[in-house]
Amino acid sequence: MRQLAFSANNRLTLLQCGAEFFPALIAAIDASTMEVFLETYIFSDDQVGGAVRAALKRAAARGVQIQVVTDWIGTGRVHSATLQREFDLAGVHHRSFNPWFRRGIARTHRKLCVIDRSLAFVGGINIMDDLLADDGSKLPLPHPRWDFAVRIEGPLVARVHLEISAQWHRLGHLKLKSRWELFRETRSRVRSSGEAPIVAALVVRDNLRNRRTIQRAYLQALGSARSSVLFATPYFAPGLKLQRALERAAQRGVDVTLLIGVGEFALQDAVAHSFYPRLLRQGVKLVEYGSTQLHAKVAVIDDQWATIGSSNYDGLSLFVNQEANVVVKNRKFCSELRAHIERGIADGVQVAYADYANIRWYKRLWYGVAYLVYETTFRVVTWSRYT
């Protein structure tokens, strides 16, 4: 795989849930003096969405250049139009990603923000109240949605800015020559020669230059794992390569634990369950999290490699949608994130192999049918194998 463009001398702050993320984001927007780029899958019409909108409008009133990208499906057709009208009146520039599927089926699932080219946020947190379900029902959750983001200062901000500004320009009316120049620019690497304090890289997934970049980053890290692997994801339906990499790590004696969100979508749970027997048989530990909605897409390997971002371990994130993760190589940061994941594991329920070794035939049939529907749909819409 093409090597990730790691840069050193970054300062990263881990933010858990909206209680830490939104005050930091709004404070940064209120302190902006030059420009704000924001990209999100969901920009909800709730109290939190209103607070972020107000901050963006205050910045625009000060003369700050504001560019906001929201996904047309994630934000919703009606609310996307409402946002457009409200932002137009306030001098906030807004573009909706892929309305009416004009650019195919891919969505932007990324959660990025860059402020004054000196501060960035990357993670899995949408612009919405994390005490409300994000499946469209807006039903109250028993506890805040379990999710993470990272606040970034240092050389990596330039890489995030390059990516998010390129997205903004791609959604405009660019000529072919300009699109080619953008393509070449985003392939360039932003590097730093230092060794400390934190070495990190931005890894993105799209359907042009980075089709399997995020999956390959996972595979490379799993291939070098020696002691422990902790993954957390709300949706689990890995391709064959990622599944095999998890199994091989466990077979080498690596302690592999997956924390999987359950209870949101019955079909998604059934698809995940179709993987359980083989993974458990190979020594992979599975823990189901149902205390509240698990939305985090995070991992820690050997306390030396960690990732936080928007990419789930399923077909949509790994092979269809646009995603963005940060990969971090720093023991202190990895230990901090590991402690969060371990607390999540403690709040979950570990799955025993006996629970799936002799399940009733109709459950086995349901899990098999669910996976077949999932894989077939994926192959039809992407014209590719689910690997």
> Residues with catalytic annotation?
109, 111, 116, 295, 297, 302
Exposed / middle / buried, residue 58 (Cβ in 10 Å: 0-12, 13-18, 19+) = middle
Residue type, 187: R
Cα 111 from Cα 126, distance rounded (Å): 7
Dihedral (CA of 300, 306, 309, 313) sign? negative
Q: Cβ(111)–Cβ(147) under 8 Å?
A: no
Kind plus residue range of the DSSP H or E element containing 256: strand 255-261
The string of DSSP codes covering 88-157 is HHHT-EEEEESGGGTT-S--B---EEEETTTEEEEES--BS-TTB-TTTT-PBPSS--B-EEEEEESTHH
Exposure of 48 in the CB half-sphere (CA atoms within 13 A): 22
User: Mind giving me the DSSP string for 304-340?
Assistant: TEEEEES--BSHHHHHTSBEEEEEEE-HHHHHHHHHH
Q: Is 173 helix (H, G, I), strand (E, B) or coil?
A: coil
φ, ψ for residue 237 (rounded to 5)? Answer: -155, 70
Distance between CA atoms of 311 and 235, rounded to whole angstroms? Answer: 10
Taken in order 367, 370, 374, 380, is the CA torsion positive or negative? positive
